């Protein structure tokens, strides 16, 4: 008995000593997962009242269940090549600095290169030294026009990849989504293989057109739903590799985008130019300045919403604190996220064209709430995907059979771009010809005519024609849900709307 009692006492003392040693030894540095999406206005993720639209965006909702959502986070610049370097080096941006490591020598990658095994996929910046990150470099405009989904999948495969390096991993990826070209449906299928056949439909020539602006907003929302699936895939990968609970996960965006209608024609597009929807002003800052910011701390199991005013320059000091990097560079403008912050009297944002903007925080919140309310009225909320396709005049016609209308005459004046796409549709493949675009060639003015498109005998989309636009001179553009198509041959017919129950046929897609 004495032996047993002595052994128990010794074990108890050993346990106390171990507990003391654990308290004294620093916790292990966590794996870091840092994702930056592109052109993602936070308001698109929200519904009236300020909550996440959890049905429409289940990936972000899944992330938010174990993370802190900084609901009033703002970018510090409206340009990708200025805003992302500010995240990575924590300094206030400058319009004179290039997005290169030579101009940002002290940054996340150079500070943690000895403590972490770094894998970084930068698209538009080059702050990770070649000696640390061996990814191939490519021009941003080239990267935008192809294989964005494949590059994300390749980056995802790096999480949890086997390595003889015992340092914790730091994984950074800039994802060029939901940024245009707009081509993705929520399912991940595309309606165009690469860029738009006519970029003007979402470019400068469309900015003063109400219908095309609403269609661009619709297409951006659809592409954002696809982007949401990438968040789900990321979380699934983290769980599968056993890193989810251990990792510090940061998900944000470089800037937002606005869908206000321009009051006058825009200037012609110039390569590398920031256009009307991205060029931040006091009138659109509530759309461009607010960005999503979700931070999941290691081991965090509860959902938190922090309405303090934080900036994207606060991300670097937050990462350094978690990485136990005590020497924070003096030039860092941000401070680690944590304590609640009061609204500033003025919010400063540097812009590419207008220089420094000084914004009123309360006005930004009111305007953001108004944008959310109008968007919910226009496109609905929740999981009703079909509501996203009810864009344009006479939306109540969508779903009605052609037999319920009076068909008055036929001018056969409409021609479909790529009409043969509808002859043999393969719904099992990666592409659905959901973009129905073309020309009106009769003598009547092509603009401002109410249109309805029937797919296989039922109205699937409505819209309004416009003046010939772009290099192709297109005059109509309609987007059809993939549920309207069937395997094989599809019969498309374009009509002009004459009244609630009267249509005039303008043209048909090629027959078998």
- Asked which of 63-72, 269-278, 340-349, 445-454 is least confident by mean pLDDT, the reply is 269-278
pLDDT above 90: residue 193: no
Length of the chain equals 512
**pLDDT, mean of residues 248-265:** 96
pLDDT above 80: residue 429: yes
- Asked which of 60-64, 205-209, 262-266, 292-296 is least confident by mean pLDDT, the reply is 262-266
Identify which of 463, 412, 407, 413 has the alpha carbon closest to the alpha carbon of residue 435: 463
Identify which of 102, 103, 105, 140 has the alpha carbon closest to the alpha carbon of residue 121: 140
- Asked which of 136-150, 329-343, 465-479 is least confident by mean pLDDT, the reply is 136-150
- Asked which of 187-196, 256-265, 309-318 is least confident by mean pLDDT, the reply is 187-196
- Which tops the pLDDT comparison, 196 or 115? 115
Domain 392-508 classified CATH 3.30.70? Answer: no
pLDDT class of 273 with cuts at 50, 70, 90: confident
Which CATH entry fits the domain spanning 32-379: 2.40.50.100, 3.40.720.10, 3.20.20.80, 3.40.50.2300?
3.40.720.10
**pLDDT, mean of residues 445-460:** 94
- Which tops the pLDDT comparison, 21 or 480? 480
Q: Which two tokens mark 313?
A: 């320059």
- Which tops the pLDDT comparison, 61 or 140? 61
- Asked which of 58-72, 228-242, 256-270 is least confident by mean pLDDT, the reply is 256-270
**Other C-beta atoms within 10 Å of 435: how many?**
23
Give the tens place of pLDDT for each residue, 147-183. 889 999 999 999 999 888 999 999 999 999 999 999 9
Q: What is the pLDDT of residue 195?
A: 66
Q: Is the pTM of this model over 0.85?
A: yes
Give the tens place of pLDDT for each residue, 196-213. 789 899 999 999 999 999
Phi, psi for residue 394 in degrees, rounded to 5: 65, 35
Give the tens place of pLDDT for each residue, 276-290. 899 999 999 999 999
149 exposure class (CB count in 10 Å sphere: 0-12, 13-18, 19+): middle
Q: What is the pLDDT of residue 139?
A: 61
Q: What is the pLDDT of residue 274?
A: 78
Give the tens place of pLDDT for each residue, 209-246. 999 999 999 999 999 999 999 999 999 999 999 999 99
- Asked if residue 423 lies in contact with residue 433, where contact means CB atoms within 8 angstroms, the answer is no
- Domain segments of the chain: what residues? 32-379, 392-508
pLDDT above 80: residue 27: no
Longest dimension (CA), the chain: 109
- The distance of Cα 502 from the centroid of its chain, to the nearest Å, equals 40
pLDDT above 50: residue 30: yes
Residue 290 three-state SS: strand
- Asked which of 12-16, 88-92, 476-480 is least confident by mean pLDDT, the reply is 12-16
| The two domains 32-379 and 392-508 share their CATH topology (first three levels equal) | no
**pLDDT, mean of residues 302-312:** 96
Q: How far apart are CA 344 and CA 309, in angstroms?
A: 8
pLDDT above 70: residue 410: yes
Q: How far apart are CA 72 and CA 81, in angstroms?
A: 22
Q: What is the mean pLDDT of the chain?
A: 90
């Amino acid at each position: 008995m004495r032996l047993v009692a002595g052994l128990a006492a010794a074990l108890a003392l050993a346990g106390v000593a171990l507990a003391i040693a654990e308290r004294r030894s620093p916790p292990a540095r966590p794996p870091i997962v840092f994702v930056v999406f592109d052109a993602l206005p936070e308001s698109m993720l929200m519904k009236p009242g300020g909550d996440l639209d959890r049905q429409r965006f289940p990936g972000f909702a899944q992330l938010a269940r174990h993370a802190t959502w900084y609901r009033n986070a703002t970018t510090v610049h409206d340009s990708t090549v200025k805003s992302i370097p500010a995240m990575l080096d924590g300094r206030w941006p400058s319009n004179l600095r290039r997005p290169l490591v030579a101009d940002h020598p002290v940054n996340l990658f150079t500070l943690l290169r000895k403590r972490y095994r770094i894998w970084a996929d930068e698209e538009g910046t080059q702050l990770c030294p070649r000696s640390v990150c061996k990814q191939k470099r490519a021009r941003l405009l080239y990267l935008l026009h192809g294989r964005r989904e494949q590059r994300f999948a390749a980056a995802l495969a790096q999480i949890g990849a086997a390595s003889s390096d015992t340092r914790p991993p730091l994984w950074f990826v800039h994802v060029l989504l939901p940024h245009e070209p707009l081509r993705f449906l929520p399912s991940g299928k595309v309606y165009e293989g690469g860029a738009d056949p006519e970029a003007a439909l979402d470019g400068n020539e469309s900015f003063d057109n109400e219908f095309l602006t609403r269609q661009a907003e619709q297409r951006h929302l659809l592409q954002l739903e696809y982007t949401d699936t990438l968040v789900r895939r990321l979380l699934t990968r983290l769980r599968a590799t056993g890193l989810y609970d251990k990792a510090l996960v940061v998900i944000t965006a470089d800037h937002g985008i606005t869908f206000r209608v321009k009051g006058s024609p825009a200037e012609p597009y110039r390569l590398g130019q920031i256009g009307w929807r991205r060029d931040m002003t006091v009138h659109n800052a509530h759309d461009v300045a607010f960005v999503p910011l979700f931070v999941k701390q290691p081991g965090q199991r509860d959902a938190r919403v922090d309405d303090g005013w934080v900036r994207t320059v606060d991300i670097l000091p937050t990462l350094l604190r978690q990485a136990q990097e005590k020497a924070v560079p003096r030039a860092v403008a941000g401070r680690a996220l944590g304590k609640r912050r009061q609204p500033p009297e003025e919010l400063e944002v540097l812009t590419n064209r207008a220089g420094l903007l000084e914004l009123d925080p309360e006005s930004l919140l009111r305007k953001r709430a108004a944008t959310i309310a109008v968007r919910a009225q226009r496109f609905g909320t929740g999981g009703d995907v079909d509501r996203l396709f009810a864009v344009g005049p006479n939306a109540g016609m969508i779903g009605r059979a052609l037999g319920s209308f009076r068909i008055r005459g036929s001018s056969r004046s409409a021609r479909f771009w790529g009409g043969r796409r509808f002859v043999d549709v393969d719904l099992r493949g990666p592409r659905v010809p959901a973009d129905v675009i073309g020309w009106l060639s009769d003598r009547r003015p092509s603009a401002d005519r109410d249109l309805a498109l029937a797919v296989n005998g039922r109205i699937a989309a409505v819209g309004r024609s416009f003046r010939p636009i772009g290099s192709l001179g297109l005059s109509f553009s309609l987007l059809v849900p993939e549920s309207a198509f069937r395997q094989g041959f599809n019969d498309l017919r374009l009509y002009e709307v004459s009244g609630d129950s009267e249509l005039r046929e303008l043209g048909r897609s090629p027959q078998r």
